[in-house]
Chain A
């Protein structure tokens, strides 16, 4: 056969497979508002950067007439490419081929690219769009899932792993995304659950739509399973690309440096925080007044809004931010916000990203539901994550830092490297009202004017203790700074922390309270 003919033969073979499940199935996919797996990869990666592998892989199942069925590429596309020049390994399940169902060869393609990503120390992106296990392949299909979960776990903390849910992801399949670092969902397209509406109806008689059970909003607002919520696939891809610019390619590196830029003047750091510690403000404005170009990339924006997490850059270096949000639930720590913050702190620590913590919280949320939901165990995660983290830890106490909340929020005592406080900081064992009521209980009760006496004692307490200077006099705070000096102090601190090295006692692994 002449060479040209052989090349033509390859081209023809490719063309056939590139159609996936065929035109009808593609039309169906589009009717659901979804792109095809291949279109998704092309939209996400740099132009012409995608190298595909295992195009010709086919299943060899025999039972249930499967031997008569050809499934192009076995319903999943794998390969590698770049995003803004960063190398990434990627797989995308093809719903047009047997509903993207996972059989043995399908799973082997996924684990092949996962092994590749780990070996080459590059980020892995998985696009999930699958009806679940390929029932005809029985236990082989379960084996496939298990092999994926194992690799997710082993790769965790070594390479960034991103999961993109662009269709159904149900049953056991949900545990791969759940084991990865960041989960992206799109409104009306993503569906994740362990047991679907059908089963719930049969077993419990409860009727619920897929969207209300495990749609994108549910996972972004209620369960906390998803980290990024988008209204369209396009917006979702923009989020992924942006995230990739903030994170390093593996745990042996630091994130890429970018050209530094000053914060925008409209974020006037002197005017954001009200003096009265009971009044709210949006702490994200403080972050925007500090970071390069006022560009703050928030993570889990809709979940446990009383704590804010996300990335920004300080002098071109990626930095993780953790901040109490007085605008939401007074910025208290509770079960959900502790969980959210702790996981993010560990992410930053695993990937060499310095952490800046902005503190303004009245303490923990009181309530039977919180206590019974395990706020002790969940709250402990924050202490654990901060104490264990060896990346540079910088803390700025903006206003309130009361009680256990003060300790938990990256205090000196958990080995913060630098602790700064604004003059408005109130570092105390509790708020002035509560403290005065306890310390001066006798004086207040025995006074002919208890209310007047209470007010007087609250004022006394405020003057004496509700300030940063008591903590500063003990060296728990390194410097009391003007708000306008914050960026300068933080940038310098990050610079001098560049080669931070903290020896830790040898252990196999710790036992974080999860």
Chain B
């Protein structure tokens, strides 16, 4: 063991163990429950078409956007009845998986 080791503590079953903490553990994202009002990109791709406007009333099952991804046109469907609060992307934007596309209210 190197004397210059950077050691931290890991809690397992209420015992604190002195040890090196991996980057993967340090960089893990804290869990957040999914919010149905925030619509995320379910696939990486390009925003081909935006079919709604801010303030517009939408109902469950309605098409919101078309994402061009994996050589397919993917329709993004509304998951609840509500109103479009804001749109976070523009036509032509490239988005990665998990990008916020729009918010409902």
Q: How far is B15's CA from A326's CA once the two chains are assembled, in angstroms?
A: 14
The answer to whether residues A330 and B19 also contact, given A204-B94, A280-B1, A363-B13 and a CB cut-off of 8 A, is: yes
Q: How far is B19's CA from A282's CA once the two chains are assembled, in angstroms?
A: 10
CB distance B13 to A430 under 8 Å? Answer: yes
The answer to whether residues A327 and B19 also contact, given A203-B45, A369-B28 and a CB cut-off of 8 A, is: yes
> Across the interface, which residues of A come within 8 angstroms of B16, CB to CB?
278
Q: How far is B29's CA from A69's CA once the two chains are assembled, in angstroms?
A: 53
The answer to whether residues A369 and B29 also contact, given A326-B19, A329-B21 and a CB cut-off of 8 A, is: yes
The answer to whether residues A280 and B7 also contact, given A363-B12, A434-B13 and a CB cut-off of 8 A, is: yes
Q: How far is B19's CA from A365's CA once the two chains are assembled, in angstroms?
A: 13
Which of B19, B31, B44, B45 is A368 in contact with, Cβ under 8 Å? B31
Which of B7, B14, B18, B22 is A306 in contact with, Cβ under 8 Å? B22
Q: How far is B24's CA from A280's CA once the two chains are assembled, in angstroms?
A: 19
Q: How far is B20's CA from A433's CA once the two chains are assembled, in angstroms?
A: 21
Q: Which B residues from 1 to 51 make CB contacts under 8 A with A?
A: 1, 5, 7, 10, 12-22, 24-25, 28-29, 31, 44-45
Which residue of chain B is the closest to A276 with respect to CB atoms?
A: B18
Q: Which A residues from 329 to 384 make CB contacts under 8 A with B?
A: 329-332, 336, 362-363, 365-369
The size bracket of the interface on A is: 35 or more
> Across the interface, which residues of A come within 8 angstroms of B7, CB to CB?
280
Does any Cβ of B come within 8 Å of A227's Cβ? no
CB distance B44 to A203 under 8 Å? Answer: yes
Which residue of chain B is the closest to A278 with respect to CB atoms?
A: B17
Which of A205, A330, A331 is B94 in contact with, Cβ under 8 Å? A205
> Across the interface, which residues of B come within 8 angstroms of A277, CB to CB?
15
The interface on chain B, measured as residues whose beta carbon lies within 8 A of the other chain's beta carbons, has a size of: 26
The answer to whether residues A305 and B19 also contact, given A280-B7, A332-B10, A433-B13 and a CB cut-off of 8 A, is: no
> Across the interface, which residues of A come within 8 angstroms of B45, CB to CB?
203-204
> Across the interface, which residues of A come within 8 angstroms of B19, CB to CB?
280, 326-331
Interface 1/0 per residue, A257-296 and B, CB below 8 Å: 0000000000000000000011111100100000000000
CB distance A328 to B22 under 8 Å? Answer: yes
Does any Cβ of A come within 8 Å of B56's Cβ? no
> Across the interface, which residues of B come within 8 angstroms of A282, CB to CB?
1
Distance (whole angstroms) from the CB of B42 to the closest CB of chain A: 14
Which of A203, A280, A281, A434 is B15 in contact with, Cβ under 8 Å? A434
> Across the interface, which residues of B come within 8 angstroms of A366, CB to CB?
12
> Across the interface, which residues of B come within 8 angstroms of A197, CB to CB?
none
Does any Cβ of B come within 8 Å of A402's Cβ? yes
The answer to whether residues A433 and B22 also contact, given A281-B1, A327-B1 and a CB cut-off of 8 A, is: no
Which residue of chain B is the closest to A373 with respect to CB atoms?
A: B28
CB distance B1 to A431 under 8 Å? Answer: no
> Across the interface, which residues of B come within 8 angstroms of A330, CB to CB?
10, 12, 17, 19
Does any Cβ of A come within 8 Å of B96's Cβ? yes
Does any Cβ of B come within 8 Å of A437's Cβ? yes
Q: How far is B94's CA from A477's CA once the two chains are assembled, in angstroms?
A: 60
Q: How far is B11's CA from A433's CA once the two chains are assembled, in angstroms?
A: 11
The answer to whether residues A367 and B28 also contact, given A204-B94, A332-B12 and a CB cut-off of 8 A, is: yes
Does any Cβ of B come within 8 Å of A206's Cβ? yes
Q: How far is B24's CA from A279's CA once the two chains are assembled, in angstroms?
A: 21
Distance (whole angstroms) from the CB of A364 to the closest CB of chain B: 8
Q: How far is B10's CA from A278's CA once the two chains are assembled, in angstroms?
A: 9
Q: How far is B44's CA from A87's CA once the two chains are assembled, in angstroms?
A: 48
> Across the interface, which residues of A come within 8 angstroms of B31, CB to CB?
368-369
CB distance B15 to A278 under 8 Å? Answer: yes
Most A CB contacts (10 A, CB to CB) among B15, B31, B44 go to B15
Q: How far is B71's CA from A203's CA once the two chains are assembled, in angstroms?
A: 9
Distance (whole angstroms) from the CB of B49 to the closest CB of chain A: 18
Distance (whole angstroms) from the CB of A324 to the closest CB of chain B: 11
> Across the interface, which residues of A come within 8 angstroms of B70, CB to CB?
203
Q: How far is B15's CA from A402's CA once the two chains are assembled, in angstroms?
A: 12
Distance (whole angstroms) from the CB of A38 to the closest CB of chain B: 40
Q: How far is B1's CA from A330's CA once the two chains are assembled, in angstroms?
A: 14
CB distance A329 to B14 under 8 Å? Answer: no
The answer to whether residues A437 and B14 also contact, given A204-B94, A327-B1, A368-B31 and a CB cut-off of 8 A, is: yes
Which of B12, B20, B44, B94 is A327 in contact with, Cβ under 8 Å? B20
> Across the interface, which residues of B come within 8 angstroms of A363, CB to CB?
12-13
CB distance A434 to B14 under 8 Å? Answer: yes
CB distance B22 to A329 under 8 Å? Answer: yes
Q: How far is B96's CA from A280's CA once the two chains are assembled, in angstroms?
A: 40
Q: How far is B18's CA from A327's CA once the two chains are assembled, in angstroms?
A: 8
Which of B1, B10, B29 is A329 in contact with, Cβ under 8 Å? B10
> Across the interface, which residues of B come within 8 angstroms of A206, CB to CB?
96
Which residue of chain B is the closest to A361 with respect to CB atoms?
A: B12
Q: How far is B16's CA from A330's CA once the two chains are assembled, in angstroms?
A: 9
16 contacts between A and B (CB under 8 A): A203-B44, A203-B94, A204-B44, A204-B45, A282-B1, A328-B20, A330-B10, A330-B17, A331-B19, A332-B10, A362-B12, A362-B15, A366-B12, A369-B31, A431-B15, A432-B15
Known: A203-B44, A280-B17. 4 other contacts (CB 8 A): A305-B20, A329-B10, A365-B12, A430-B13
Chain B interfacial positions (CB closer than 8 Å to A): 1, 5, 7, 10, 12-22, 24-25, 28-29, 31, 44-45, 69-70, 94, 96
A-B interface, 3 closest residue pairs, ranked by CB to CB distance from nearest:
A205-B94, A434-B13, A330-B17
